[in-house]
Amino acid sequence: MLDNTFYIAPYDPKWKAEFMGLGAKIKKALGDPALRIDHIGSTSVEGLAAKPTSLS
């Protein structure tokens, strides 16, 4: 049975650092065609509570 519960977490400054690491890996994998990799969505807004994909 699916759990359709959403969890809103307080803003976590680690989200930006996590994106920077992941974004760098994606950019490296895609190479020159990837002009930019953007962090979008609720976890990209400083100070905003959000629905993170992990609650760890």
Report the pLDDT value the prediction gives residue 52, as an integer from 0 to 100: 72
Please give the model's pTM, rounded to 2 decimal places.
0.71
Q: What is the pLDDT of residue 54?
A: 58
Cα dihedral 37, 52, 8, 11 sign: negative
Q: Give yes or no for a contact between 52 and 12, defined as CB atoms under 8 angstroms apart.
A: yes
Q: How confident is the model at residue 21 (pLDDT cuts 50, 70, 90)?
A: very high
Take residue 42 and report the two structure tokens written for it.
């609720």
- The 10s digit of each residue's pLDDT in 26-55 is 999 999 999 999 999 889 999 999 987 755
Q: Give the domain ranges of the chain.
A: 14-44
